Every structure is written in structure tokens, then in C-alpha cells.
Amino acid sequence: MPIQVLMPALSPTMEKGNLAKWLKKEGETIKSGDVIAEIETDKATMEVEATDEGTLGKILIPEGTADVAVNTPIATILADGESAADLAKAPAPAAQKAAESAPPAAAKAEAPAPKAAPAPQAVAEPDPEVPEGTEMVTQTIREALRDAMAEEMRRDADVFVMGEEVAEYQGAYKVTQGLLQEFGAKRVIDTPITEHGFAGVGVGAAMTGLKPVVEFMTFNFAMQAIDQIINSAAKTLYMSGGQMGCSIVFRGPNGAAARVAAQHSQDYSSWYSHIPGLKVVAPYSAADAKGLLKAAIRDPNPVIFLENEVLYGHTGEVPKLDDFIIPIGKARIVRSGSHVTIISWSNGMTYALKAADELAKDGIEAEVIDLRTLRPMDTETIINSVKKTGRAVTVEEGWAQSGVGAEIAARIMENAFDYLDAPVARVSGKDVPMPYAANLEKLALPSAAEVVEAAKAVCYR
């Protein structure tokens, strides 16, 4: 059956874009990885790569067409042995809601177009921070983050938000949507594109008693500001003998997104969790994102709040409470099990929970721990679980060397060595800069299948 090429999303918030140019003509041979078209928005231009081989059978959207909705079929590829007569077999374009998370460019769909699989829901264990019987509301993670900031800004006039495009544009990922209208330009501040500069302004403001929430468009850009974060924010309390604090939150997307290549895909979890004086938070669910961000804003110490671009559009239940706070430094068991402990955080939980579902089909019950906070790390929860299961697997999108998984493995060895029935296994991103090509990017990241393989290995299955 002919394969449809869909209009890809450049970001989680993109709903439509312009089909700027076709680089292949109808009838031309297509190989996987060939660039077949260019699309653009007001913020970026992106190449559309073919993920299948065959012949470009029909261009459905002509070049120069503006405002093409995400997931609209833009072309049809004929497989080997198919001809123009087979074009009628292609699935009819279906009205689809614009995707909130960015799929790889040149994704394919077969009739009927499948809906995106929902993120695994952590429902096995009740959240101890939520009173029984609490009413829940469904929110995306970006909405939960926005509400956390808005609630804290209403509560404390010293809290303000600053960063690139956080005000007039409502945030690069729409996380700060509506804040400018409610709080005004003095408390929601658009900055120049100079991370070293505005991070320093934020640190200085925090040293005078204000409580800045500094957004980085991506933590890759925070490398420009790392001196301010580490040498100024993290060390000032110690170097001043406790006389000067720095209550500040640095937040924004961290890690891989979708085809943004090596310089925009790095995971900084281990970098920041290495530093005394910083607290490092990396939530997975909408409820945790809200409760932990509120806690971070109130914390007297500098907090690195690592979000994930891929997760912004994911939905989850958030407690409808007047003041929902989750303590920093407390992990959560999201799925109980007795055979192996799987430990992860942020988007790594996606692989961990999917793997736990697959392992259960083979009779292996995995206990899944969401760390939520990387520094301080909840060693007690990890050790208690490993003492029960005797086996552990860590899952992270960052690199293995000096990674958070290596630290977890060391703590298990130091505190639960006699309880281990197998060496600790680590699943991580591959030891290469992130490739741009969609097929190579997928190979560079962990997968649920790799987590399953690691869990089975430590269970000797």
C-alpha cells in the first residue's frame, strides 16, 4: 500500500507551517534519509526526510502552500512494484488534531491513521502527597508548570519570571502563556538573547532578596550562563559564611527533543547534579511538575528545574488543591514489583514504564521508581527497593560515563551490595553526539526494548 508522508511538527507547540519547497519531483526514486522537502515557520526551517524507500508517487500539497496543518498528508510514496494505479489505495486524508509533541519529520501513517499512544500512566502506587479523595483535574505538563508559576506569583510579590520570549510571545513552548496579561511587564520580563547576561541579572536579583524564575529556551543555551549558575548562584551561600543566599529557579527543556541535532539535544542531568549548592529536579508527570516547581520557587537555594520538551504536551491528573507542594528530594514508587527495580526520571520514565508493562507479560514484575529529584537523591527509597528485589536497572537519556545511573549504581553497591543477586545494569543514551537524521536519533536514544533486555539479563531470563 502506498505510504503517506505527513506534515511534521518542528516543536511541541507547532500546529501548522509552510511547505516552502519540494526537493524531489513526482516519479523520482526515494531512499530512506533523502531530503524530499523543506518546511518553515516564523521560527525555523526544517528538512523533511523520507523514512521509506520507493518512488515519489504524488505530491499532495504544492510548494509555497502556507498554513499546512501538522499531520496533513503532503505526499505519497510508492513502494517497489507499485505504480500510479496504486495511488487510489492510499488512505484518505483524515482530520487530525495538531500534535502537541513533535514527532520525527517524515513520519508515516497507514489507514486508518493511528492515534499517538498515550504516555504510560503511573497508577499502581498512590501519591503520599495527595490526600485520599482529592479531586483531580487533567492538565498538560506545560499547563501545570504555568499554573505553578502563576500561583506562586500571586502568593509572593517577590517572584518574577524572566527569559527569552517569556512575555510577548507567551514562551517558546507556551509555558508562560497568560502570565504577562495577569502580572504585567515588570514581573514577566523578555530578555535579550544573552544567557550569560540575564542569568547574571537573575542571580543578582536573588542576592537582594527577590525570587527570580529564569527560563532558558533550552538548557543547551545555559552553557553560556554556567559560570553564573555554578560560581555565583551555587557557591555564594558557602563562600559568604551563610550571610547571603540565592533563592532562584533556572528552568527550561533539557535533553533530546526531535531532530534538533547535537547542540540542542544534550542532557545536563549529571552536570548539574554534580555541584554542591544546587538542587536538581527532573519531573515526569504533570502533578510532579506543578508540585515540585512550587517547592523550587519557595526553596531558599538555587534550583535547576529540568523539564523535557517531548513531555510538555503529555497530560496527567493534577490534584485540585489550594496549595499542592511536593517536597524536593523524595522519590516515588510508581509501580510496585518484586523481581527487579527500574530507576529513572523525566522522559526516561517513558521507557521504564513501557518496559515494565512488557516484562509483566513474561511474568517479571518490575518495581519502577521515579527519582523526581536528582540532587539531593532519595537513596533510601532506592536501597529499600533493591533490598526487596535484589536487582536494579537504571534508565537515562544522557550518556553513561559519569552519568546519574553510575551514581545510583555506586550507592547501591555501597549500601546494598549483599542484597544484590546480579550486577546493576545501566541503559543510557549512546556515546555519540546526537545525530540529526531521524533514524539515527532514534538509535542514539534508549528504548523500552533495551530496558526489557537489561531487566531480563539481571533476572537471568
Give me the half-sphere count of Cα atoms (radius 13 Å) on the Cβ side of residue 278: 25
- Number of H-type helices and E-type strands within the chain: 12, 23
Q: Which three cell numbers stand for residue 248?
A: 532562584
Q: How far apart are CA 190 and CA 164, in angstroms?
A: 5
Opening angle at CA 271, ends 328 and 380, nearest 5: 40
Torsion of CA 99, 101, 107, 110, to 10 degrees: -50
Q: Are strands 211-215 and 159-163 parallel, antiparallel or unpaired?
A: parallel
Q: How far apart are CA 402 and CA 227, in angstroms?
A: 21
Torsion of CA 155, 160, 163, 166, to 10 degrees: 50
Catalytic (active-site) positions:
195, 264
Q: How far apart are CA 194 and CA 197, in angstroms?
A: 5
Opening angle at CA 67, ends 62 and 68, nearest 5: 55
Note the helical H segments in 233-378.
236-239, 269-273, 286-298, 348-361
| Distance in angstroms between the alpha carbons of the first and the last residue of the chain | 39
Task: Write out the E strands in 371-411.
Answer: 373-375, 392-399
